Chains A and B, each alone.
Chain A
């Protein structure tokens, strides 16, 4: 009986801790919104973060987008061949990329690359008192450190998703047309017929939301780091796990709402 009550106790505590953490992240988000509209807008810091989150992620996004499109074309071809519907491969790849895989894979890759770096950088700044130093110099750390990262995440994720969508479709074309001998005209025609702009826009809205999640979680975890080098490592891991899970869970609900 004691074991059961201890297990229930632990479960209850975990649930309460998670709810408390969600509340803290939400409070940070409100604080970010308030500091975002308060001048001056620190453009230099925003562009620096946009370069880090966006420009420096292009290579990895091109790579994952291209190979995802290629493998989707290959798998789709084996399935559609059974029904002599190989020409649908192009539209399947395009729909899959624009609605789901483009935004989700881009968000997961950027989480691994930039979300983790945000947590590690802010975490290191926290444990070495650099964030306290900012406060002492009458500079708000949320305005100076977090707002530029959130803006960069929200702007650059849709931009990277466009790259990922394009490269995925290009990869699908490369596998479908020259390698699997699908008719090029049918491949492209089915894309234009079945994919409308709404699919792309909704995918980009998702991407912006994922950009918010990964930067907010990365910054929150880094900003609240305690316990030296070990704490920084823990914060980084937790940021990647929490942001990735949040992206996948919210993807379901966003899809249910939008499509």
Chain B
């Protein structure tokens, strides 16, 4: 269970998170939506301890990770996998070494076992046989799928997705959405997805939270969100220029 309690974060004079309260349900996919530059990535980085809040608590399985030292935080992080926006594959390593990285770092598996696990993970994301390719030889969609294979290699409980469909064509967007749904089901994961792709939001999300001006202004199931009369949410979903969200 992930719980954010009154999380505040500023960078210099710029306030990014102004009191986030959010309960993320186990075994479900929660999508956090909001405008570009609205603090979605900052929120995600708090959940995995890449950023620490100025005040407030980020509780993962009953532990406030904001107060942990590096060693204890690393133990908590083993419960997580994360797919970065541009996949963040290590460009000095091939696909095999990328996916094997967490296995070599945190398990005592032998090389043959690691190769087998990597092959299974790549098959699970629909990319069998690409072990020897370098990240630079892969398309954007393929990189994201390899990134997902790396994120789930250690069988984490929670997987975070940072704008997984940004920059992809509609067909690849659909493929990645299907992959998130299938992976979530088959590994029984708790997923947190941040996105501003309206079609994907309703496809992958069991629960949806709207982040606006540093606060969660609406949180509910897909149906509740569709039926919400919140003007911020309505404007965001319709993509209208008229409404409380101003375009800078």
Interface residues of A (CB under 8 A from B): 124-125, 128-130, 132-133, 135-140
Q: Check if B82 sits within 8 Å of A138, measured CB to CB.
A: no
Interface pair A135/B50, CB less than 8 Å apart: yes
In the bound complex, residues from chain A placing their C-beta under 8 Å from that of B86 are 128-129
Q: Taking the nearest CB of chain B, how far is it from the CB of A130, in angstroms? A: 5
Q: Mark B58-99, 1 if CB is under 8 A from A, else 0.
A: 000000000000100011011011101110111100000000
Rounded to whole Å, the gap between the CB of B78 and the closest CB of chain A is 5
With beta carbons under 8 angstroms apart, the residue of B50, B70, B75, B90 that contacts A130 is B90
Q: Return chain A residues, CB-CB under 8 Å to B176.
A: none
A136-B48, A136-B77 known; 8 other A-B pairs, CB under 8 Å? A128-B91, A130-B89, A130-B91, A133-B88, A135-B50, A137-B77, A138-B75, A138-B77
Is residue B112 within 8 Å, beta carbon to beta carbon, of the partner chain?
no
A130 vs B86: C-alpha distance in the bound complex, in angstroms? 10
- Are B105 and A133 touching (Cβ within 8 A)? no
Contact B84 A129 (CB under 8 A): yes
CB distance from B173 to the nearest CB of A (A): 21
Q: Of A125, A133, A139, which one neighbours B82 at CB under 8 angstroms?
A: A133
Given contacts A138-B74, A138-B75, A132 and B88 within 8 Å (CB-CB): yes
Residues in B neighbouring A129, C-beta threshold 8 A: 84-86, 88
What residues of A have a CB within 8 angstroms of the CB of B13 in the complex? none
CA distance A132 to B89 in the complex (A): 11
Tally B residues with Cβ within 8 Å of A. 23
Rounded to whole Å, the gap between the CB of B83 and the closest CB of chain A is 10
Query: B81: which A residues are within 8 A, CB to CB?
Result: 136
Please, which residue of chain B has its CB at the minimum distance from the CB of A130?
B88
Chain A residue at minimal CB-CB distance from B106: A138
Of the candidates A124, A125, A132, the one having the most CB atoms from chain B within 10 angstroms of its own CB is A132
B-side residues, CB < 8 A to A, are 45, 48, 50, 70, 74-75, 77-78, 80-82, 84-86, 88-91, 101-102, 105-106, 150
- Say yes or no: B84 contacts A132, CB within 8 Å: yes
* Across-interface contacts of A135 in B (CB, < 8 A): 50, 77
A138 touches B88 (CB 8 A): no
**A124 vs B88: C-alpha distance in the bound complex, in angstroms?**
11
Interchain Cβ contacts under 8 Å between A and B, 6 examples? A128-B88, A132-B88, A135-B77, A136-B77, A137-B106, A138-B105
Determine chain B's interface SS by DSSP, over half rule.
mixed
Closest chain-B Cβ to A103's Cβ sits at a distance in Å of 30
A136 to B90, CA, bound (A): 13
Report the nearest A residue to B80, measured CB to CB. Answer: A136
- Nearest-CB distance from B130 to chain A (Å)? 19
B70, B88, B105: which has the most chain A beta carbons within 10 Å?
B88
- Docked complex Cα distance between A130 and B75 (Å): 20
Chain B residue numbers with a CB within 8 Å of A132 are: 45, 50, 84, 88
Among A132, A137, A140, the one with the most B-chain Cβ atoms within 10 Å of its Cβ is A137
Q: Which 7 A-B pairs have the closest CB atoms?
A: A138-B74, A133-B88, A129-B88, A138-B77, A136-B82, A137-B102, A129-B84
Among A130, A135, A138, A139, max chain B CB count under 10 A is at A138
Instruction: Determine the chain B residues whose CB is within 8 A of the CB of A128 once the complex forms.
Output: 86, 88, 91
A72 to B47, CA, bound (A): 61
Q: B45 — which chain A residues lie within 8 A by C-beta?
A: 132
Q: With the chains together, A139 CA to B82 CA distance in Å?
A: 14
In the bound complex, CA of A139 to CA of B77 (Å): 10
CB <8 Å contact, B106 and A133: no
In the assembled complex, the Cα of A144 lies from the Cα of B23 at a distance in Å of 34
CA distance A140 to B73 in the complex (A): 11
- CB neighbours (8 Å) of B106 from chain A are 137-138
Q: Hey, which chain A residues are within 8 Å of B101, CB to CB?
A: 137, 139
Task: Tell me how far the C-beta of B40 lies from the nearest C-beta in chain A, rounded to whole angstroms.
Answer: 15
A125 to B45, CA, bound (A): 17
**Given the interface contacts A130-B91, A133-B90, does A139 sit within 8 Å of B105 by beta carbon?**
yes
For B91, the chain A residues whose CB sits under 8 A away are: 124, 128, 130
Question: Are B84 and A138 in contact (CB-based, < 8 A)?
Answer: no
A124 vs B85: C-alpha distance when bound (angstroms)? 15
Q: How far is the CA of A9 from the CA of B147 in the complex (A)?
A: 48
CA of A132 to CA of B151, assembled, Å: 13
A140 touches B88 (CB 8 A): no
Among residues of B, the one whose C-beta sits closest to the C-beta of A144 is B105
Whether A140 and B70, one on each chain, are in contact in the complex, defined by CB atoms closer than 8 angstroms, is yes
Chain B residue with Cβ nearest A129: B88
